Structure 1
Amino acid sequence: MGYVERQPSAGLRPVMSTEQGKYRSVRASPTKLRGVSRYVTTVTVVWGLCIAQATALLPTSPRVSALVEAGVKTLETIPFDGGQYDRMLGSKCLVGLALHKAGKKNSPRIKEAIQACAERAGEVSRDNFTYSQCLAVIFLSEVAPKTEKATIQQYLNMFTKRQLPHGGWGYVGEQVGDTSQTQYVALAMWQAHRAGVSLDDDQVKGLMSWLNKTQAPDGGWGYHGVVPDGGKREAQAGVTPTLTAAAMASLMIGADLHGLLNAGSMSVAAGTGNGGELPPSLRFSKDRVSSAKPLSPSGVDWKEVTKSFELGEQWMNEAPFNSAGAFPFYYLYALERYHSFNELRSGESELEPEWYEQGVDYLEGSQIKPGQWNNGCGAPADTAFAVLFLMRATQKSLQGGIGEGALVSGRGLPKNLSSATLKRGQVVVEMDVVGVADFLSMMEKGEADRLDALAADPSALLVGKLSSADAARLSQVLRAGEPNQRLVAARALGSLGDLDFAPVLMYGLTDPDPRVALASRDGLRAIARRPRGFGMPDEFNDDQRYAELEQWKRWYLTLRPEAVIDLGR
């Protein structure tokens, strides 16, 4: 699709001065949850309701929600009649993907992109690069993994057969590997694997080997990766934050496909690598999002992978935010992917990530009109990249599926069968995205079918700017509502990312309905930016539940030491 950096980006400029520090430095005011002390406003919290303005800039923050809403409105109508990139299948797939992630599952643009994938397979198979082919796999695996499985396999075959002998991908007729194209192959493989499509084990291992070998000694990656003759890393041309973020995310995807992306401090649970035991920074992860069977870890030099992770993370920590480079919105999409996978790998993340705030600031100021961006990849693709970044789309994919097994049960058939489908033996009503006010209105009107459908589909609830009154009502519902009402309230409060709602979610952790307890657990994880929380599994017992609760209490009191937590159960 041409989303490439063909030449080194010259004149990269940080958005902060030297006095302010470098990218991801810890500022005086924001919170970082691990290893860094923070300034805390002394607050006494007696159990009940404490509603305050959230300080963290999150995908649900009003500033961000306004940008996403404007971007989604643009994507619904923007024509694909601009430059070369606009007319490519990949642009349609990106637009469809962004709309799907934004909850617009019934958008005509999504149906249009699915149809285009079916109709243009022959044309796209002749492309001399892989972007449209990979984006078709990424899109279809996300929006229609079952009904379009054959088409996913068709597009997967198009680019996997073109893997170069060294393990990377590049342009047809060229033998040099291309980091930009290879990253989309990695992401497409990961999405296909999650959709239940089988992968060639050797192809994934070859991709990882090429990434390991083409990393520069300082930890960065360039555009055309040069494979060294010996075993040592060699200098690479055109090293940029965009390509380093892309390569790091791809290498972490490779580890996850093998079931080995996890917190660096964890010990080895099982498995062997290239003739020996896995290093301590890699183990089989029990928290993988995909239910697909992981690939065999043998045949990969896991010690070298670990070294690549360490060097690459150090490089990214020291790199400036790169909005001045080529293809800035493509860069933001890669940057969010890198940070999301790295949070999962390390088990740590910042409450107020500086890179995200910088990205939001840049996007806010770079619109060519409200909700539209265009700088390098065409307006449809660049606007989709912007919306995917703002929503933290990769993080949503990684967090999806945890504790979301609730389906309609116990109420018989819904009255509105025209919007119902059968899922896992249950009749489920499909519905458009609704807001918190709509949810509260459903409760008042006793619309049981719609409440059941909302409980069964977490993505159907859009939580934007929340009034104090609505937040108070949600907290009351979580404490005293019906089971499905409590479930939706827990999801809504958890999605806000606001520390003020941690106590009510701790209360929800003690709920007799396991679905509500899991939703409350996931909300606490989101607030704390701890993807694994304190280890409470999906299939938990009361000992694990209350051990988790005590850990969350201690965590909360480190941030608000004068708080009083009385759960009242």
Structure 2
Amino acid sequence: MPALVLCSLIPAIVHAQPPQAEIDAAIQRGVAFLKNTPDYGRSGLNAFVAYTLLKTGESPDSPYIQNCVKNILADHNQKNEKGEIIYQPGRDYNYCAGVQLMVLEAIDPEKYQTEIQTTVDFLIRTQHSTGSWYYPGNNPHNGDTSITQYAILGLWAAERAGVQCPTAVWDKAARWHLTTQLRDGGFGYHPASPSEATAKHTMGVAGTGSLYVISLMLYPEGKPRTADNPQTGSIRKKRFGFLEKVELAEKPVGNEKNLITKPNIPLSAIENAKSKGGDWVIRNYNIRNPTGWPIYYLYGLERIAALADAKKLGPHDWYADGAQQLLTTQRDDGSWYGVGNISPSTCLAIIFLSKATGKTLHRKYQPEPVGSGLLAGGRGLPKNLAEVQMRNGKVESKSLSGDLTELLAQLEDPANADLEATQESLIETITLGDREKLIQQKERVLKLIDARSPDVRRTAIWALARTNDFTVAPRLIDALKDPDLGVRIEARNGLCTLSRKIRGLGMPEDPLADTLESLDEKERIQIVNQWSDETAKRWQKWYNSIKPFEEKFNLYEVLNQLPASK
């Protein structure tokens, strides 16, 4: 996640965010357009319109929403060949089922608990063995990244409503995304189709967003999900917009057997895929001419930013850019054209402008300065990073070539280098370049942590945190006790980036700013040292819980700890 939570080190050419009054007016014109159609019938669009209106503040009790709900409930009263009452979504199938879950959860998860469970059962049945979802019948393309996305969004809504989805379903979905993600981090539409397997902007945000949800479901707060608290009875609010059950009902909801088991897919694999996907999204950021549906792409950006709790995606102010684009392309009747399907495009535009996922997660879009407070704040690294040249939307280095080998050689001999220019070019190269090249140079970067210059040590720590290699964590933990306070702060920020724990484990981003002003310098430093010690212990405990198997069971270390034989 480093690129998503990192406040901009390198500026992008962005539009100023339009005034909120203009955004609100555009939303209302779009809502009026959608309501010009009195009834969307039994279709996915019916649910999509209802969800859109709910996210703009429409009352669940309004006649319009209630008519949409009536259409949704009609799907739960269909008859099969035997005359049995079954759930059968409209012609949009899994798209329809996913969005219907989002609507019912948003309206009243307790009232519609049975319908939510029935829809979840349907999505579980229609999941293919590979972990993906598709249209009815055969699955010639090894799944559909877009349909799978909406199934995952629906199941996520069901989980928030208190209806459990088996761990196996999330596990299979995780495996499918890991196996279909392209080497550069992107995603295609139909992975098994040569003509539709190439990376698209729309599928990049869809696949990456799904990985974020899957990670949240399998490893809430970074730990494997457990079944310690059976989900039975009434519903009450939980943190992060989720819902949980309290023990009041006489029988459990859903299947009686325990559905929550230990995940099979490691957290590290999912987090690595998220990071690759996030990097791809930032490298290929394109508001005006994305491949695929442009407004569908915007909604995907909004979802990723909300899940990552990031105001910016790398250097890009996604909301300001997207809002400006939508306000300039809205049609006179209040709609958006998209790629030809007007009503869905209008829904997607309104959902983006309303920050729908952010509302679900109660985000306030105040980004954490993970990995950037030191670098962008001027505490040792170049103060003129904001002066990086931009031409035609691309970063141009003002100084060195950007070759990673050359830049590391400069840091290894700082006495003969323009350290400020070297640091600036290194940041550009790593942020915008090929992460694999950084990983190949990891051993050289590790040696720089012991450099005499605090500036070089800080730069090395910043770079190591972006290797996505958890084995460097012990070196960053050691750096929490560096003599230089700036190095300690960067080590703390680097661990936040590496672990995806954006709020850290102890020491705040700027510890001196958080101490009492009445304290003298000696007392302040003493408090910071205490913070450093406590923080190092917490990070070490975290690393012990996730470190690789071979480190946990190192036979050589065990034998060396045994008493010598007599």
Shorter-chain TM-score: which interval? 0.5 to 0.7
User: Does the residue aligned with 1:161 lie in a helix, a strand or coil?
Assistant: helix
1:108 paired with 2:45, answer no
CA 1:321–1:306 in structure 2 vs 1: closer, same or farther (change >3 Å)?
same
Moved more, 323-332 or 66-75: 323-332
1:316 to 256, 281, 295: 281
1:74 paired with 2:29, answer no
1:90 to 18, 24, 44: 44
1:143 to 107, 112, 120: 107
**2-structure distance, mates of 1:99, 1:127:** 22
CA 1:362–1:553 in structure 2 vs 1: closer, same or farther (change >3 Å)?
farther
2:350 to 363, 377, 387: 387
CA 1:56–1:260 in structure 2 vs 1: closer, same or farther (change >3 Å)?
farther
1:119 equivalent in structure 2: 74
**2-structure distance, mates of 1:536, 1:25:** 20
**2-structure distance, mates of 1:68, 1:237:** 34
Matches within 5 A, 1:231-242: 237-242=197-202
CA 1:354–1:146 in structure 2 vs 1: closer, same or farther (change >3 Å)?
same
Q: Which amino acid aligns with 1:320?
A: Y
Post-superposition offset of 1:296: 4.8
Cα shift readout 1:243-274 (whole Å, capped 9, x = no counterpart): 01001111110111124356xxxxxxx5599x
**1-structure distance, mates of 2:312, 2:180:** 27
Post-superposition offset of 1:349: 4.2
Post-superposition offset of 1:111: 0.7
1:220 to 177, 181, 186: 186
Greater relative contact order, per chain length (Cα 8 Å cut-off, separation 6+) = 1
CA 1:235–1:253 in structure 2 vs 1: closer, same or farther (change >3 Å)?
farther
Post-superposition offset of 1:154: 1.9
Task: Give the number of the structure whose alpha-carbon radius of gyration is greater.
Answer: 2
Q: Which amino acid aligns with 2:205?
A: A
**1-structure distance, mates of 2:131, 2:56:** 35
Paired residues of 1:222 and 1:243 also in contact (CA < 8 A): yes
Paired residues of 1:90 and 1:131 also in contact (CA < 8 A): yes
CA 1:259–1:142 in structure 2 vs 1: closer, same or farther (change >3 Å)?
farther
**1-structure distance, mates of 2:300, 2:71:** 25
1:557 equivalent in structure 2: none
Q: Which blocks of at least 5 consecutive residues in structure 2 are unaligned?
A: 79-86, 227-237, 246-258, 366-499, 518-566
Q: Which amino acid aligns with 1:201?
A: T
2:266 to 294, 301, 320: 301
Cα shift readout 1:491-539 (whole Å, capped 9, x = no counterpart): xxxxxxxxxxxxxxxxxxxxxxxxxxxxxxxxxxxxxxxx9996899xx
CA 1:212–1:37 in structure 2 vs 1: closer, same or farther (change >3 Å)?
closer
**2-structure distance, mates of 1:200, 1:95:** 29
User: Does the residue aligned with 2:126 lie in a helix, a strand or coil?
Assistant: coil
**2-structure distance, mates of 1:331, 1:245:** 7
CA 1:349–1:88 in structure 2 vs 1: closer, same or farther (change >3 Å)?
same
1:289 to 218, 241, 250: 241
CA 1:186–1:116 in structure 2 vs 1: closer, same or farther (change >3 Å)?
same
**1-structure distance, mates of 2:8, 2:286:** 23
Paired residues of 1:321 and 1:358 also in contact (CA < 8 A): no
CA 1:79–1:326 in structure 2 vs 1: closer, same or farther (change >3 Å)?
farther
**2-structure distance, mates of 1:219, 1:98:** 30
1:168 paired with 2:132, answer yes
Paired residues of 2:42 and 2:72 also in contact (CA < 8 A): no
TM-score by length of 1: 0.52
Paired residues of 2:143 and 2:190 also in contact (CA < 8 A): yes
**2-structure distance, mates of 1:352, 1:216:** 23
1:365 to 321, 328, 353: 328
Q: Which amino acid aligns with 2:294?
A: P
1:278 equivalent in structure 2: none
Paired residues of 2:312 and 2:318 also in contact (CA < 8 A): no
User: Does the residue aligned with 1:204 lie in a helix, a strand or coil?
Assistant: helix
User: Does the residue aligned with 1:177 lie in a helix, a strand or coil?
Assistant: coil
2:463 equivalent in structure 1: none
Cα shift readout 1:159-192 (whole Å, capped 9, x = no counterpart): 2201111111112222321111000011001100
CA 1:197–1:272 in structure 2 vs 1: closer, same or farther (change >3 Å)?
closer
CA 1:149–1:128 in structure 2 vs 1: closer, same or farther (change >3 Å)?
same
1:192 equivalent in structure 2: 158
User: Does the residue aligned with 1:399 lie in a helix, a strand or coil?
Assistant: coil
Paired residues of 1:97 and 1:143 also in contact (CA < 8 A): no
2:217 equivalent in structure 1: 257
**2-structure distance, mates of 1:250, 1:238:** 18
- What is the Cα-based RMSD across aligned positions, in Å? 4.2
Post-superposition offset of 1:303: 2.1
Paired residues of 1:214 and 1:236 also in contact (CA < 8 A): no
2:149 to 171, 183, 195: 183
Q: Which amino acid aligns with 2:325?
A: Y
**1-structure distance, mates of 2:126, 2:6:** 44
Paired residues of 2:174 and 2:211 also in contact (CA < 8 A): yes
Cα shift readout 1:368-419 (whole Å, capped 9, x = no counterpart): 32421233474332221111100110011111799xxxxxxxxxxxxxxxxx
1:248 equivalent in structure 2: 208
Post-superposition offset of 1:302: 1.9
**2-structure distance, mates of 1:301, 1:536:** 22
Paired residues of 1:71 and 1:387 also in contact (CA < 8 A): yes
Q: Which blocks of at least 5 consecutive residues in structure 1 are unaligned?
A: 1-23, 27-31, 39-54, 81-85, 228-233, 263-269, 274-285, 403-530, 538-543, 555-569
Paired residues of 1:241 and 1:322 also in contact (CA < 8 A): no
Paired residues of 2:295 and 2:349 also in contact (CA < 8 A): yes
Q: Percent identity?
A: 24
CA 1:313–1:352 in structure 2 vs 1: closer, same or farther (change >3 Å)?
closer
Matches within 5 A, 1:412-423: none
CA 1:320–1:365 in structure 2 vs 1: closer, same or farther (change >3 Å)?
same
Matches within 5 A, 1:393-408: 393-399=356-362
**1-structure distance, mates of 2:64, 2:277:** 37
CA 1:297–1:33 in structure 2 vs 1: closer, same or farther (change >3 Å)?
same
User: Does the residue aligned with 1:245 lie in a helix, a strand or coil?
Assistant: helix
Post-superposition offset of 1:342: 2.5
**1-structure distance, mates of 2:502, 2:272:** 26
Paired residues of 1:534 and 1:548 also in contact (CA < 8 A): no
Q: How many residues align structurally?
A: 341
1:276 equivalent in structure 2: none
1:452 equivalent in structure 2: none
Post-superposition offset of 1:301: 2.3
Q: Which amino acid aligns with 1:146?
A: E
Post-superposition offset of 1:235: 12
Identify, as 1 or 2, the structure richer in helix: 2
Q: Which runs of 4+ in 1 moved over 6 A?
A: 531-537, 547-550
CA 1:209–1:170 in structure 2 vs 1: closer, same or farther (change >3 Å)?
same
Paired residues of 1:257 and 1:295 also in contact (CA < 8 A): no
Moved more, 250-259 or 387-396: 250-259
1:206 to 172, 178, 197: 172
Paired residues of 1:89 and 1:136 also in contact (CA < 8 A): no
